[in-house]
Structure 1
């Protein structure tokens, strides 16, 4: 609100409180003006603006140049009041008509583009949106300006977004060969989330399966959700065109699980709470991007059997009438209860990084390849670890009967 001279009130009021809008929606409000006496003016305009700004100092061996950049997403001006001015014969220029004493209100609206990025505030950059009210005055006098900010929020609609209910899966295994090329040792790791999209304050239901058929012990497992923010800008010098990157990576949440004895199987289920102030995933900006990745690790007493898998996650907001996203109860179970392990004899010794497919699930392998193998994970959820020594003894006995004594 602005109070200047004969103006008692000059403010821009949004039609929502808090002023939060979604891409493609209509931003509306009104310019309120209260005058103590009549005032001459030419026009009243509103300016809708939205842009990203980045800036940081790049440390080099010789100096510390400043990197910066701007990207405009919204720039629109609308005239909400225009006065027919009379022309003066003097050198004072056009004269505006008078607006009467009292309270005045001028509504406005603007439709947001469907591809605008959400509001963001980071260490080296921001994405902001605002509405300016401008009173243009006659006689080349300076204009009166009042402004207010509003937020743009990206929304995931679970009823239309297929990625919301699709579990995310990543898997990897390591194998060693003995007995003239036959596989005798393997460690397999699979990590699964209950869905693909989460909101700030939500919980990621993580399920980890480990099948340890090697001779060493898995000492512990660990799950870490990391955020990767990348800022892009140019050198603040004339003629500079090349975009430079500034990357900021940090840990959002981390948890540690138990280990697995040799020749044992284990299932570990752990909820990961996303902080309520976590920024959402940001993709549709050339200067700022925000991505999330869930890393699940299995550390072995023999480093050769260490395994890491990565699951990209999406953080988004949800419609207000949906309630807290974690309250939905019709999400499909992340693991069928009738699955079982397959014998190591059915595995190919030539495959070192494979993906364990799940019907209806989006799967990533650790090496981003498309190789897959039909390996079923066993042990119903919550079941105890299952020893596999008897099966291996039977297999070794069969090899000895056939004359396989090693090479």
Structure 2
């Protein structure tokens, strides 16, 4: 049979390893007869890949991307000259550190992010690459958020009728933008219903996943999470109502960061549901679910009578790129620049009621390629369409954002 191998992992209490922790275990293998190996290596690697198709028949096109996050390797055996490995049972303890700034393990029909301990018995034979054994290591990476807490936001809806115009305004505050899996997002809502109709306020959590191909093409999947939906009682016309709402999360939910193939995000959505013929209005705020971690000082794992470990972290570039053809990326980037300049010029022609444009209000300056890419990402996230079904459409609604560092109301571009 050649070689028998077992990779025994010292599992954590919940079976998941986190950034900064050490994966320890024991490699056991036995050889039945003298065998000539080129090398025996054990490695800990992290890789991600995505792939999907769009269109049909002749117009069908496939998009894909891949990325390696790190690779750590230990050499267990290297022969001297034509030395053959003698039969017997062998045992080696091993230890690998889980790096920071890596995405969590993830798998669906489009994308896979996984981490494995791999043992390879490489042979010198021309037509035999040897034997490979592997075991998967569930990893939970750290997440972060750039938004300030608490975050104040809101929306404003104008109801048009034959007799008069009236408004509905919602002011909201969310206490945390980043919570651990299973924790609630807490909202405080103040509803000013200066209209002649009753309404209902609905809160829910959305998954908002953006898959990115190697040429920058994206696939966006947005889906409400049923277990997080909540509806208020009817809010009467001409009233002011204050509500405290809890938007729950699930222990299985986790934001995906630190990877170029997937933006795994969540959004808390507040929706004003209006009776026919009025159209509902909603605002969705990006939030993160995960654990915060601070990188400690690098500690080399104890030798444990093992060979030294070689760690290799891949340099990350989260811009859209085409790894095989730099010219394609340059042309694509120039196209983004021209579209951005054109759209920014159009946007600045229309000022809001305070005489400030969207860009001036936030003092946004897009001065280099990285920020241009972030700008494109943001547009793609905000411009994702939904089916109306009298459920969500903001054709005549305005969205307000307010930062606790200074109250500002902003009319966001549609």
Q: TM-score range by the shorter chain?
A: 0.5 to 0.7
1:298-357 CA-to-partner distances (Å, cap 9, x unmatched) read 2345877964332221111478xxxxxxxxxxxxxxxxxxxxxxxxxxxxx956968585
Q: Which moved more, 1:216-225 or 1:349-358?
A: 349-358
Given that 1:163 and 1:196 are in contact with CA atoms closer than 8 Å, whether structure 2 keeps it comes out as: no
User: Residues 243 and 318 from structure 1, CA distance in 2 versus in 1: closer, same or farther, beyond 3 angstroms?
Assistant: closer
Question: Is residue 168–residue 311 contact of structure 1 (8 Å, CA) maintained in 2?
Answer: no
CA shift for structure 1 position 35: 4.2
Shift of 1:282: 1.5
1:158-197, aligned counterparts within 5 Å? 166-173=149-156, 186-197=167-178
- Counterpart-to-counterpart distance in 1, 2:412 and 2:59: 39
Among residues 265, 269, 272, which one is paired with 1:291 in the alignment?
Answer: 265
- Select the residue among 211, 218, 233 that pairs with 1:258: 233
Match of 1:21 in 2: 17
1:198–1:314 Cα contact (<8 Å) kept: yes
Which has a greater percent of helix?
2
2:211 alignment partner, one of 216, 227, 231? 231
TM-score normalised to the size of structure 2? 0.63
| Stretches of structure 1 lacking an aligned partner (at least 5 in a row) | 86-94, 177-183, 235-241, 320-348, 370-407
Q: In structure 2, how many angstroms separate the alpha carbons of the residues matched to 1:163 and 1:245?
A: 23
Give the secondary structure class of the aligned counterpart of 1:62. helix
Residue 357 and residue 107 in structure 1: after superposition, are their counterparts in 2 closer, same or farther (change >3 A)? same
User: Match for residue 221 of structure 2?
Assistant: 248
Could you report, residue by residue, the CA deviation over 1:193-228 in whole angstroms, capped at 9, with x for unpaired residues? 3322223333233332102234x1232111122111
Compute the displacement of 1:24 (Å): 4.1
Unaligned 5+ segments in structure 2 are 160-164, 294-351, 355-396
2:76 match: 80
**2:401 and 2:72 mapped to 1: Cα distance?**
51
1:224-257 per-residue CA deviation (whole Å, 9 max, x = no partner) reads 22111111225xxxxxxx3321221111132211
Structure 1 residues 57-96: aligned runs within 5 Å: 57-60=53-56, 62-85=58-81, 95-96=82-83
What is the deviation of 1:64? 2.1
Q: How does 1:46-57 map to 2 (within 5 A)?
A: 46-57=42-53
Aligned length: 306
| Superposition RMSD in Å | 3.6
Equivalent residue number for residue 244 of structure 2: 269
Check if 1:111 corresponds to 2:97. yes
Structure-2 change in CA distance of 1:164 and 1:188 (3 Å): closer
Q: Give the C-alpha shift of residue 147 in structure 1.
A: 0.9
Which has the larger Rg?
Answer: 1
More strand by share: 1
- Where 1:297 maps in the other structure, the secondary structure is strand
Per the alignment, residue 372 of structure 2 pairs with: none
Q: Quick one: distance in 1 between partners of 2:407 and 2:265? A: 18
Aligned in 2, Cα 1:190/1:302: closer, same or farther, shift over 3 Å?
farther
Q: How does 1:324-335 map to 2 (within 5 A)?
A: none
Match of residue 97 from structure 1: 84
Equivalent of residue 146 in structure 1, options 106, 122, 133: 133
Q: Which residue matches 2:412?
A: 367
2:118 is matched with which residue?
A: 132
